[in-house]
Structure 1
Amino acid sequence: MLFQELTSLATYAFAIIAILVLVKKSVVIVPQTDEHVVERLGSFSKIIKGGMHFLIPVVDRIAHTQTTQECQINIPPIETISSDNAGITADAVVFYVVSDTHSASYKINNHENAITDLAISSLRAELGKLDLDNILSKRAEINQKVLDALAEKCLSWGIAIRSIEVKRVEPSRDLIEAMNKQLQAERTRRAEIIRAEGKKEAEIKEAEGFAQATVLKAEADFKEAQYQAQSRTALAEAEAKSTEILNESMEKSSKATDYFLAQKYIESLGNLATSDNSKVIMMPLETTATIGSIASVVDYLGANKS
């Protein structure tokens, strides 16, 4: 009897445990951010989403699990060559989401590895089309082209590529040194240009000043020449007037000529006497005649005065 009771208890316990195991296997709780692919006897049956679901034990099983959250894949650094043969190193990050759980589970074995390889290939192809300057300045354009290439190919896998960002683009160390030398040379060239422009401007200013000075001097010389011409004209007019008066006087008296000659003679002697180079004054032989002429002039002046 005791043995039979123990056997019955063991049977009941085994049945309870089996029921609990079957219940555990038949009840599935799916998180809100996941989707499960259920296969029945090895074939696709259905896709279950967030919540509690019941499966047929042994017959049904969860074959694949996909997340509905946006995922990130870091593309490792790649080395490539630009169109102008510049060696560069670049890396990127890809953001994607599973848009079709069935396709992502059955049409691609490992979509993360596939996206990584495809992104590397597309990024290397786009960088090879551009020169270094465009690569460094057109980052957004490169991102868009790589995104278009990935989105088109990943769509059939049930993967939607949200965005791709090229994080780092660095030229090789030798190229960086060459660029630094080129930048230094460019700075030196600009400094030389600024210095040359300053020198040129200074020379232009100096030439303009010299030209203005020349014009002013020419104007001054012209005015001086006009003044001298006017002086000579006035002097000539005075000489003409004096000659006219002398002619009139000569018609009246012959002593007027002696007066005119004596005046010039005395002026010449005065200039000779005041000269710095004249140490000895030689009187000409006709001094007596000159003195006589002066006496005649005095008599003439006295007669005119009377």
Structure 2
Amino acid sequence: MIALVVLLVLVVLAVLMTVKVVPQQTAYVVERLGKFYAVLQPGINFIIPFFDRVAYKYTLKESAIDIPEQICITNDNVQVRMDGVIFIQVIDAKKAAYGIANYTFAVTQLAQTTMRSEIGKLALDKTFEERMTINRAVVEAIDEAATGWGVKVLRYEIKNITPPQSVLMAMEKQMQAERERRAVILQSDGEKQAAINVAEGQKQKTVLESEGLRERQINEAQGEASAILSVAEATAESIRLVAAAIQNEGGLEAVQLRVAENLVDQFGKLAKTNNTLILPANFADMGSMIAAAMTVIKTDVPNAK
């Protein structure tokens, strides 16, 4: 009975040692009598107990490895602390098992040395701007070396770049000065634009005022000219009417009567306003005075008879 139980246990152990279930995205490297035999695929696999053994197990999933912080020296001799993270994936389990003793350690060391080399080519200011360039350089350098390790480097990312405290303070002062300079420039630009706007407004105001004054002067001149022309035309028309009236029958006698009335009227006014009155020698001869006045009128009006 005991022998049967022992035999049953041995059979179960043999079955367990013979059947290997490989999970998805996993690779088992099998050695037979100490020599590479095969890479078991996901699923159920059978091996020979005591002859075959699973020497290595690798996950084929993408893995992230932290790159420890290290001190790098820039091209302008500034020490900065940098760390990062690298993403790798095993694509060939056989090369990963026999191509290198520890591919994780190798990738980490190669990432650090490549990062130091790339930082040494750049000035401190450029290290913050050239992150993508550094990342690509690290990926290319490791990927080329990792070809024989059965590992594919997918990407690399710099996590932190930490300059010395003194450099940080200097950078802060520089940024503060730059911000102040930009503020002064913006303020001066605003004041300049405001002055330009004021000057432009004053210019337009002066132009409009001068144009208004010119229009007013033109209008006033045109009004005065029109008034003078109207007065002249009215005067000329009155003279023409008087001349026409004189030429009519009885017109000359009417003028004589009008002249005599005006003469008498004017002498009457002189007598009222002055104590002393000087009379012409022939004042008694009113007809001769009217004749003299009519002689002037006839001289001015050639057609008067």
Q: Considering the TM-score relative to the shorter chain, is it more than 0.5?
A: yes
**Structure 1 segments (4+ residues) deviating >6 Å:** 195-209
Which of 26, 31, 51 in structure 1 is aligned with 2:18? 26
| 2:82 maps to 1:90 | yes
Deviation of 1:167 (Å): 1.9
Residue of structure 2 equivalent to 1:61? 53
Q: 1:57 to 1:207 in 2, by over 3 A?
A: closer
- CA distances 1:230-258 after superposition (whole Å, capped 9, x unpaired): xxxxxxxxxxxxxxxxxxxxxxxxxxxxx
| 2:41 maps to 1:49 | yes
Letter paired with 1:23? V
Structure 1: any 5+ residue segments left out of the alignment?
A: 1-8, 217-301
Deviation of 1:23 (Å): 1.3
> Structure 1 vs Structure 2: percent identity of aligned residues?
37
Residue of structure 1 equivalent to 2:284? none
After superposition, where does 1:240-279 map in structure 2 within 5 Å? none
CA distance in 2 between partners of 1:71 and 1:195 (Å): 53
Residue of structure 2 equivalent to 1:167? 159
Residue of structure 1 equivalent to 2:148? 156
Letter paired with 1:101? A
Which of 93, 107, 116 in structure 2 is aligned with 1:115? 107
Structure 1 window deviating more from structure 2 (132-141 vs 37-46): it is 132-141
Q: 1:20 to 1:129 in 2, by over 3 A?
A: same
Residue of structure 1 equivalent to 2:169? 177
Q: 1:34 to 1:207 in 2, by over 3 A?
A: closer
Deviation of 1:192 (Å): 4.9
**DSSP 3-state at the match of 1:120:** helix
CA distance in 2 between partners of 1:33 and 1:48 (Å): 11
CA distance in 1 between partners of 2:103 and 2:125 (Å): 34
Structure 1 window deviating more from structure 2 (81-90 vs 53-62): it is 81-90
Deviation of 1:207 (Å): 11
May I ask how many residue pairs the two structures share in their alignment? 220
Deviation of 1:205 (Å): 10
Q: 1:207 to 1:100 in 2, by over 3 A?
A: closer
CA distance in 1 between partners of 2:42 and 2:183 (Å): 69
**DSSP 3-state at the match of 1:126:** helix
Letter paired with 2:174? Q
| 2:97 maps to 1:105 | yes
Residue of structure 2 equivalent to 1:79? 71
Letter paired with 1:68? L
Letter paired with 2:56? H
CA distance in 2 between partners of 1:207 and 1:66 (Å): 79
TM-score normalised over the length of structure 1:
0.61
RMSD, matched Cα: 3.6
**DSSP 3-state at the match of 2:120:** helix
CA distance in 1 between partners of 2:194 and 2:13 (Å): 100
Residue of structure 1 equivalent to 2:118? 126
Letter paired with 1:75? I
Q: 1:48 to 1:206 in 2, by over 3 A?
A: closer
**DSSP 3-state at the match of 2:8:** helix
Deviation of 1:11 (Å): 1.9
| 2:114 maps to 1:142 | no
Residue of structure 2 equivalent to 1:36? 28
Deviation of 1:184 (Å): 2.0
Which of 3, 13, 16 in structure 1 is aligned with 2:8? 16
Letter paired with 1:159? V
- CA distances 1:62-81 after superposition (whole Å, capped 9, x unpaired): 10111111111111222212
Residue of structure 1 equivalent to 2:259? none
Letter paired with 1:48? L
